[in-house]
Amino acid sequence: MNAVTIYHNPACSKSRQTLELLTAHGISPTIVLYLTSPMTADQLKDLLTKLLMRPRQLLRTSEDQYKTMQLDELNLPDSVLIDAMVKAPHLIERPIVVVGNRAVIGRPPENVLTLLT
């Protein structure tokens, strides 16, 4: 199996549950604490490609900063949304697990099992 990476927020229960699920399956993933080590725009674009998602789909719309930064404007270009997530990484949905060229969001945590087969 390819290396497994988790973009992890230890304060998030789903992120903790996803990490526990991986370890229960004998996997010791590389843990990226993306809040303290934010991604670059290029890294985020690469991650979006692996997720098969558009930037808007990766945004946490319930965050106060989502509204403060006026990200609810539906006509914003992808580059603006990516820049917002780079500047405010807590806007990124979590956790994200990557295996090779594929990635999923661990909501629910069992979603990551699709990457392990």
As a whole number of Å, the CA-based R_g of the chain is 14
- Gap between the Cα atoms of 27 and 24, Å rounded: 7
Catalytic residue, candidates 12, 53, 76, 80? 12
49 is catalytic: no
- Specify the DSSP element, H or E, that contains 71: none
In this structure, are strands 4-7 and 96-99 parallel, antiparallel, or unpaired? antiparallel
CB 33 within 8 A of CB 8: yes
Active site residues: 12
